[in-house]
Structure 1
Amino acid sequence: MESEPTAELIRAQLRRLRLAANLTQEDFGKQVHFSGSQISAIELGQRPFDRLFLKRADEVLNSDGLLLGLLRIAELHRQPHFLRPWLDAERVAQQLRCYHPTLVPGLLQTEHYARAVIRSDDLLADDEVERRVAVRMDRQAILTRPDNPPILIAVIEEATLRRVDESFRGIMTQQISHLLDCVQRGGVLILVIPAEVSVHVGHAGPFTLACGADGDWVGHLENHLGGATIDRAEELATLHARWDGIRSVALPKGQSELLMKEVMESWSTI
C-alpha cells in the first residue's frame, strides 16, 4: 500500500498529530473505526494503511489533508522513472492537447470508467488496480486547481462513446455526463470525431501535448509498455502536425456537445 521512506514519515506524522490532539490510540481508533491495537500496529509499521484510513485520520485530526498528501507523494515516487518527466510536465502545464483513438483520456475519466479500464488488465491484483485508479483521480486535480489551471483540449471518437454493452451502459452514461459537466465548468474543450470519418491520421495511436509557462511543449506517447516522453523539436513538430490533422476532422464544439448528449440519452433510455 505504501512505500518507504515516505511511509515512515506518514506514520511519524500520524503519531505526532494524534498526540497533539490529546488522543490515545484507543480514542483515536474509535473515531476512525479501528481498535487501539490496530492503531498501534499502524504507527509501528506492523500493519499497512490505505487511502481511506488516511482520509479519515486527516478529518479526525484536522490535519488539512497532510497525511493523504504524503501518500500521494509516495505514490508519485512509485511511478516508473520513464513516466516522471511527463508527470512533471503535466502538473505545470498551461495547456494540454490529448487524443485517444479508443478510450476517454485519463484526465477526463470518471472513477468507475477508470476502474473498468484498468481492471481489464488481468495481470493486476485488486489492490494495484485501486492504487492506479487513485493515482489517475489525483492527476485530474490539475484541472480544478485554484491557481491557473490548464486549458484542456481533448479529441475523442464517437465510436469510443458508443462502445458499450449492457453491463457497461451505466458507467458510460455517467462518463458522458461527466464530459459534459467538464465542458460546462469551463477550461475544457471536447471535440468528437464522428463515426463517418472512418480513417484519419490519429489512428496511429494516442498522444498528449503539454505546453508549459515558458511556451515550450512536451509530448507523451502511450503504448503497452507505458509510454515515452517526447521533447525533440522534430518529433514535437510531427505530433503538432498530427494534432492539426486530427482536430480538422472533429466536429465543432457545439456539434460535439450535441452528439455527446444524443449518445448519452440513447444509452440512458434503452
Structure 2
Amino acid sequence: MEEDIPSGSLSPLHGFGFEVRAVRLGRKLTQKHLAKGSGYSEAYVSRVEKGQLVPSERFARGCDVVFGTHGVFERLRRRLEESDHPLWFVPYVQLEEKAERILDFSPSLVMGLLQTEDYARAIFRAAHPRAAEDVIEGKVAARLRRREIFKREDPPALWVVLHEAALRTAVGGSAVMAAQLEQLLGAMERPHVDLQVVRFASGAPDGRLRPFTLLGMPDAATLLFRDAPHGGGRVYDAAAMVGPATEIYDRLRAHASSPDDSAAFVKSLLKEYRS
C-alpha cells in the first residue's frame, strides 16, 4: 500500500509532489507505472510525491509524457526555482523545521538561524550584486522566517561552533557586526542554545573544513547537510557520511573555547566593533 504524502503543507516541494500524486491517481496509475515511464525508480517517485526530493527537469518532463499534461509539470518545476530559498536548500529547510537537535559548524559566516536582518541582507547583496531589491528582501524574509522554529513549545536544541574568522569578517560594516554580535550574546543566554568559538590560536583538526550541519530528527535519525561537490548543498542520511561528520564535530567542540569563554570573547570583539 502506498503511503500518503503529508497534507496541508504549503512548501513548494510538497506542492509539486501533491500534484504528481493527484494526477497519477486520477489516471489510475501506480508509482511503478510512473517510474517506468519517466525512467526513474519507484523509490524516487515516492520521495518526490512526499516532498522529500527535488525533482529533476527530466523527471518533470517524464511526468508530462506519462500523464499527457503538455508541459504542466515542467512549468511547476520551474516555479520551484523561483522560491526565495535556492532549490537545493529547500529539502534542508523542511527538515530543519522538524529537527529536535541542530549542530552547526560555520567557519566563515554566522549561521543563518542566528543572523540579524541587516547581516543577512549584506550577505545576499554581496552574493547577488545585480539582483532587484525585492528579490534580496524576499531572501532576507525567508531567512528570518526560519527562526520560527524557536517559537515552538519544544524548540530544537541548537549547538553552534563558530570559527573566529566568522566573527572578524566585517559583513556590512562595523555597525552591522556590532548588532550581530549583540544578537549572538542574546542567543547564548537562552537555555536551548550553546555557542563555542574556535579561536585562531586553537587551530583546527582539518583546515579544509567547509560548513556543515547535523540534524537530530524525531525518529532518532541523524542527518548531515553540507556543500555538494559541484555547488549548492545536499542532505545525507548514510552512516558512512553522518558518522565521520559527527566525529569531526566532536573534535571541533573539543578544540573550541568553552561557552563561557566564548561569550567573553564575543563581548571583547563587540567592544572593538563599537570603538
Compute the TM-score of the two structures, normalised by the length of structure 2.
0.66
**Cα distance in 1 for residues equivalent to 2:187 and 2:81:** 25
The letter for the 2-side match of 1:195 is: F
| Residue in structure 2 matching 1:237, options 235, 243, 251 | 243
Hey, what does 1:209 align to over in structure 2?
214
The equivalences for 1:118-197 within 5 A come to 118-121=124-127, 122-143=129-150, 145-164=151-170, 168-197=173-202
**Cα distance in 2 for residues equivalent to 1:132 and 1:101:** 22
**Cα distance in 2 for residues equivalent to 1:100 and 1:234:** 22
Say whether the 8 Å CA contact 2:197–2:256 is kept in structure 1. Answer: yes
Say whether the 8 Å CA contact 1:201–1:246 is kept in structure 2. Answer: no
Say whether the 8 Å CA contact 1:94–1:212 is kept in structure 2. Answer: yes
The secondary structure found in structure 2 opposite 1:186 is coil
Hey, what does 1:104 align to over in structure 2?
110
**What are the Cα deviations for residues 167-197 of structure 1, in whole angstroms up to 9, with x where unaligned?**
6000001000000101113211110011212
| Residue in structure 1 matching 2:205, options 185, 191, 200 | 200
The secondary structure found in structure 1 opposite 2:231 is coil
- Alpha-carbon RMSD across the aligned residues, in angstroms, is 2.4
Identity of counterpart residues, as a percentage? 29
The secondary structure found in structure 2 opposite 1:220 is strand
Hey, what does 1:247 align to over in structure 2?
253
Question: Tell me, which stretches of 5 or more residues in structure 1 are unaligned?
Answer: 7-73
The letter for the 2-side match of 1:129 is: I
Quote how far apart the aligned CAs of 1:86 are.
1.6
The letter for the 2-side match of 1:255 is: D
**What are the Cα deviations for residues 59-100 of structure 1, in whole angstroms up to 9, with x where unaligned?**
xxxxxxxxxxxxxxx999824554333222100111000011
**Cα distance in 1 for residues equivalent to 2:233 and 2:272:** 35
The letter for the 1-side match of 2:141 is: A
**Cα distance in 1 for residues equivalent to 2:135 and 2:93:** 19
Question: Tell me, which stretches of 5 or more residues in structure 2 are unaligned?
Answer: 1-11, 16-78
The equivalences for 1:61-76 within 5 A come to none
**Cα distance in 2 for residues equivalent to 1:207 and 1:234:** 15
Query: CA separation of 1:75/1:108 partners in 2, compared to 1, >3 Å: closer, same or farther?
Result: farther
Quote how far apart the aligned CAs of 1:222 are.
3.2
The secondary structure found in structure 1 opposite 2:219 is coil
Tell me the matched-pair count.
Answer: 196
The letter for the 2-side match of 1:130 is: E
The letter for the 2-side match of 1:227 is: G
| Residue in structure 2 matching 1:258, options 264, 269, 274 | 264
The secondary structure found in structure 1 opposite 2:173 is helix
Quote how far apart the aligned CAs of 1:123 are.
4.5
**Cα distance in 2 for residues equivalent to 1:249 and 1:219:** 21
Compute the TM-score of the two structures, normalised by the length of structure 1.
0.67
Say whether the 8 Å CA contact 1:156–1:190 is kept in structure 2. Answer: yes
The letter for the 2-side match of 1:141 is: E
